[in-house]
Amino acid sequence: MYHQPVLKNRRTLLERAEKFISDIYFTDCNLRGRLYGDTCPLERLSVFVSPKRMSYSDAVGQQFQPCKVGDTFGPTWWTCWFKVSLTIPESWRGKEVHLRWESDGEGMVWKDGEAVQGLTKEGEKTTYVLTEFLKDDEPHSTTLYVELACNGLFGAGQGSMIATPDPNRKFTVQIAELVVFNRNVRELLTDFEMLVDIVKLLGEEEQRSYQALFTANEMVNLCDPSNPGSFSAARDLAQKFFSQRNGESQHVVHAIAHCHIDSAWLWPYEETIRKCGRSWATVIGLMEKNPEFVFACSQAQQFQWVKNWYPGLFSQIQTYVQKGRFIPVGGTWVEMDGNLPSGESMVRQFLEGQNFFKTEFGHFCREFWLPDTFGYSAQLPQLMAGCGITRFLTQKLSWNLVNTFPHNTFFWEGLDGSQVLTHFPPGNSYEMKGKVEDLIKTMKNNKDKGRANHSAALFGFGDGGGGPTQLMLDRFQRVKDTDCLPRVQFSSPDRLFSELEADSGLLCTWTGELFLELHNGTYTTQAKIKMGNRQCEVLLHDIEVASCLAWCLNKTFSYPSHRLQELWRKLLLNQFHDVIPGSCIEMVVKDALEYYEEIRSTGSSLLNVACEALGSGDCTAVLNTLPWGRREVILLTGCNDVQPRLALVEVPSVGLSVIKELLQPTCPVTVTTKTDGTFVMENGVLQAVLDHKGCLLSLSLVETSREAISDRCAGNQFVLFDDVPLYWDAWDVMDYHLQTRKPVVEVLKPAEVGSNGGLRGSITFSLRISSLSTITQEVVLDADCPYLKFNTQVNWAEAHKFLKVEFPVRVRSSSATYEIQFGHLQRPTHRNTSWDWARFEVWGHKWADLSEHGFGVALLNDCKYGYSTYQNTMTLSLLRAPKAPDANADVGRHEFTYAVMPHIGSFQEASVIQSAYNLNFPLRLVPSAADKANWSAFSVSPAAVVLETIKQAEADDNALVVRLYESHGSSVTATLSTSLAVREAWYCDLLECPDPKRQAAITPTGILLDFRPFQIVSLLLIL
């Protein structure tokens, strides 16, 4: 009998199989060329073009103009509505018929008024199935609509993905026709593709690779593309290969379908709504056809958008959620930035998110899901745990530029010791395609081999790509248990984590923050967004405190819970991981700043209403929303004062005090001009010496004469760096920028005395940064104030420059301390190891501190987040000037304040934390009757415990929630005292669910509470 010779030429065999399925070569005779059968033009195609996004019902009533394939539309950000009239030829009976649509832009098919599927070339979604088997009795003629957004998957970047959008891009319809789709060809192609990939990726070392090669070769022998009758024999061969099973020990890959949709980035928020609609409609279509298919979906905000804009789709989603197949994950309002939002903001991300999921779908999420943000706060484990979440999935640390993170599956231990089981999908992607490569990567990259036998593979096109495809599902289906590849199962986050939990005995623990060694520019880029975030966090805090106090004084006061929720949701949305980091296009910046303006204006009126409810009369009182007494110089306006004037006021904690007689400072401020041109400012606490350039030559504590500024150095030194990263312009500042340091020395207007003392001393000066940019600064020393303040204005018109301010201090310590959410942590001031020098630019919140035993210096700020401390120089990052994706990022006028605070003892003993709060939370003036007594609602002792939040309970109008945290890093028993008539106090979690077993004891002095270091405690107070 004749045997076909199979020579030992791996290359020709492999390339033969590749050519057999090539979409470039030999399509006249290969299998690929048979994928589509007959075609038929559309009966009619017409279009309506609009600069606005509009609803289906509005669109279909418009005037449509005839158009044809090959026509171009636009410009960028416009929308085309196509009316597609079609009739399927009679002769296609029994065939699978698709509408084939290839165009630029992102499309959505509408059928009978419902959004049914996305059409995006870049997401491999170019056909819409009209029928899988054309029957006589089904209508052959129909009309569909295609809504086409004139932007690509990643917006419309000019020349590069992250370049500024091209406003004049044109969008072409390349194909719009009916086509017969040969499903059997598609199936056989998938067999071939998987086999060829196995040959290539397993390589010459694996005998399985050769088995795949010979299988594919024999399939080519058996298969005649022109004779579909020959396909089944080839398919049987493939099936035989795929069904040769693994042993029991093989790694298990949990294939979790996903579509990572950035809530705004290279496109505006409004377009994201449609991206969600397109993607999720596609997912529902796949669910109907694939009973095993499940899909994990994050971000409550996006569900809310779809609920509002696609109610029909949303109710289908609800049905599939009930079936456990459309799986809400994450528990947060948006996938927020993991560094910059305050502790309370992060709580609200979970509170709004989890409550939404519970209300709409019946349960809380059990996993936190944040695959794509730029670092993860060390407080997140405790925040998760307090919100019913014990599991965490991300993968962004695979982007580290310097060090390889050592784990894929591990316990992450937070600042307070809380632990969450954490998984980084080893394939380092959240957009896999179901290919052999994805499976092999997932298995090979896993750094916990033998410790964890399960990994996730997240698959599906993100953003405008519309999630997974049928092809991806088919690929996984073939290799569910194929010898030499990991086992694959369609899975959910819950299944994955349950498996990991069940066998976690060998897992390692990582303690502290997950710092991303990349994208460190995002602590500074888009300064106005950062400022909006900080100021609105403060404003919402104050509205809640003032409204609670108003309600406690008078129960008829209506707490603005609904409006506060609206404002919080806007703030939370802007904390999305491409908005608050500043890595978005100008359109998004504009939207974000508008949201902050809405929060400011609505918030101010809510605050006014609450303040007016606190008192009335011709006199003025001062409201302090912070949990300690304050003695500060403020500017009095209104009331009986004709002219605004300074006054020293004293206000009890979370309380009010009426301004009666004027307080005298312990020691008046003096400002002296010396003959050498320097200025000396003194307030009995600090003595500062500045030169005509505003440089701080000396800063000392009066009581001990301890000097804070390093020998022969000056503080408040502005420095400018070249800032040209390798690619990610708005995101990255590279280590080499440090080599380009240039002090800002050109004086525009030399220092002069502004306020000459008494309650306030100040000097002002201006510097020239360049021919384009200037700094004007007022250096302020207030009576009884422990810090020197720098009110700064910058006119900024730079390109690729980075402005910072330096304070070289007389302190030696191997680590500096930075405030984070509900606590602080240390980072090195040296560059011993690669892990140390990779943190050349770090983030912090309201303060950073460098201390040695008995003395230290803190650097406070009111809206900045970027810091660095190298050796003894503390640096605050002020402004960047990236050009992509927003060419005008940060160009314009900026106002911000920072302060320097030398102190005796530790920063805890010296009340640095309180001072940083004071700098950020202004005392507020409220109307009052003259005879009103000073009043304090709450106080806490010891000072280690901070009462951060006072709000109305979500579920009970007659209860307050108070949130406290231990801020020093100590175990303490604290007393929360209150003048309010609290009947009961219950411990509750961050979602405000009370623990029925834990009632807090109310003693005559207050409520006693135990804290471990950095612990967050929430109480439900029943009034």
Which C-beta is closer to Zn ion: that of 259 or that of 387? 259
Pick from 255, 257, 259, 256: nearest CA to 461: 259
CA distances to 671, 761, 813 from 691, rounded to whole Å, are 13, 15, 28
* 372 in catalytic set: yes
Shortest distance, CB of residue 372 to Zn ion, whole angstroms?
A: 3
Nearest residue (CB) to Zn ion, 372 versus 438: 372
CB of 103 to Zn ion, least distance (A): 25
| Dihedral angle of Cα 12, 201, 212, 485, to the nearest 10 degrees | 180
Q: Which of residues 727-746 bind Zn ion (CB under 5 A)?
A: none
Nearest distance, CB of residue 102 and Zn ion, angstroms: 27
CB of 372 or CB of 966, closer to Zn ion: 372
Instruction: Give the C-alpha separation, 789 to 755, whole Å.
Output: 13
Let me know if 560 is exposed, middle or buried by CB neighbors in 10 A (0-12, 13-18, 19+): buried
Q: How far is CA 947 from the centre of its chain?
A: 26
Minimum CB separation from Zn ion for residue 577, in Å?
Answer: 6
Q: Work out how close the CB of 585 gets to Zn ion at its nearest, in angstroms, rounded to a whole number.
A: 14
Q: Which of residues 474-513 bind Zn ion (CB under 5 A)?
A: none
- Of 372 and 806, which CB lies nearer to Zn ion in the complex structure? 372
338 or 856, CB closer to Zn ion? Answer: 338
> Which positions from 360 through 419 interact with Zn ion, judged by CB under 5 A?
372
β 44-50/65-66 pair status = antiparallel
Q: Least CB distance from residue 263 to Zn ion, whole Å?
A: 8
Q: In the complex with Zn ion, which residue's Cβ is closer, 349 or 620?
A: 349
The span of 45-53, 258-266, 684-692, 769-777 binding Zn ion (CB under 5 A) equals 258-266
Q: Terminal CA-to-CA distance of the chain, rounded, Å?
A: 96
CB of 227 to Zn ion, least distance (A): 48
Taking the C-alpha atoms of residue 258 and residue 474, their distance in angstroms, rounded to an integer, is 16
- Rounded to 10°, the helix 207-222/183-202 angle is 150
Kindly name the residue from 372, 416, 782, 849 that is annotated as catalytic.
372
Question: Token digits for 795?
Answer: 């006119």
337 binds Zn ion (CB under 5 A): no
Judged by beta carbon, residue 262 or residue 448, the one nearer Zn ion is: 262
262 forms part of the interface with Zn ion (CB under 5 A): yes
What angle is formed at CA 18 by the lines to CA 17 and CA 24, rounded to 5 degrees? 135
Q: 547 and 560 in contact (C-beta within 8 Å)?
A: yes
Given a contact cutoff of 8 angstroms between Cβ atoms, the answer to whether 44 and 142 are in contact is: no
The residue at minimum Cβ distance from Zn ion is 372
Cβ pair 591, 598 in contact under 8 A: no
Q: Which one, 369 or 802, has the nearer CB to Zn ion?
A: 369
Distance separating alpha carbons of residues 53 and 169, to the nearest angstrom:
17
Closest CA to 913 of 944, 941, 942: 944
Least CB distance to Zn ion at residue 462 (A): 7
Q: Total residues contacting Zn ion (rule CB under 5 A)? A: 2
CB 543 within 8 A of CB 610: yes
Rounded Cα–Cα distance for residues 523 and 580 (Å): 9
**Crossing angle of the two packed helices 343-361 and 527-553, in degrees rounded to 10:** 70
Name the pairing type of β-strands 945-952 and 959-966: antiparallel
- Residue 271 Cβ vs Zn ion, minimum distance, rounded to whole Å: 15
> Which CB, 490 or 731, lies closer to Zn ion?
731
Which CB sits closer to Zn ion, 154 or 364?
154
Q: Do 768 and 900 contact (CB within 8 A), yes or no?
A: no
User: CB-based contacts of 350: which residues, under 8 Å, 6+ apart?
Assistant: 331, 332, 383, 384, 386, 387, 389, 990, 991
Distance of CA 523 to the CA centre of its chain: 12
**254 strand-pairing partners:** 456, 489
Q: How far is the CB of 276 from Zn ion (least distance, A)?
A: 14
Q: Give DSSP secondary structure letters for 478-506.
A: HTTT-TTS-EEEE--HHHHHHHHHHT-TT
Coarse DSSP helix, strand, coil percentages of the chain, rounded to the nearest 5 percent: 25, 35, 40
Active site residues: 372
Using CB under 5 A as the criterion, which residues of the chain lie in contact with Zn ion when the complex forms?
262, 372
